[in-house]
Amino acid sequence: MLKLGESMKIIDNIRSFLYDKDYFINIFEDYIYVFNYFDLNHFSDHNINLKLEKFNLNIEGKDLTIVTMMEKEILIQGRIEKVIKC
């Protein structure tokens, strides 16, 4: 039987494995979700440019809005037409 401290260490290791990513991008029909971005370089209703650790991500579309913006996560809504890794 595992002791409480040992089981907590296992849980911490699993969390570290699951969330230890340089970045994570999910593209849906009308949304794009980006995890682990560093900065918002440019924002307009037709173009959003995000700074990630090793590259920039340029999102082009129509009626782009930021739905949720947290320290490392951003959710963008609109008609996504292009996503370009620069």
Distances (CA, A) of 12 to 3, 16, 18, 20: 14, 6, 10, 11
Q: Per-residue pLDDT for 3 more than 50?
A: no
The secondary structure element, H or E, covering residue 11 is helix 4-19
Phi-psi region at 59: left, alpha or beta (left = phi > 0; alpha = psi -120 to 50): beta
The pLDDT of residue 4 is 47
Structure tokens at 49: 């440019």
Beta partners for 32? 27, 76
Fold classification of 22-85 (topology level):
Immunoglobulin-like (2.60.40)
What pLDDT digit, counting tens, does each position of 24-72 carry?
A: 898 998 999 999 999 999 999 999 999 999 999 999 999 999 999 999 9
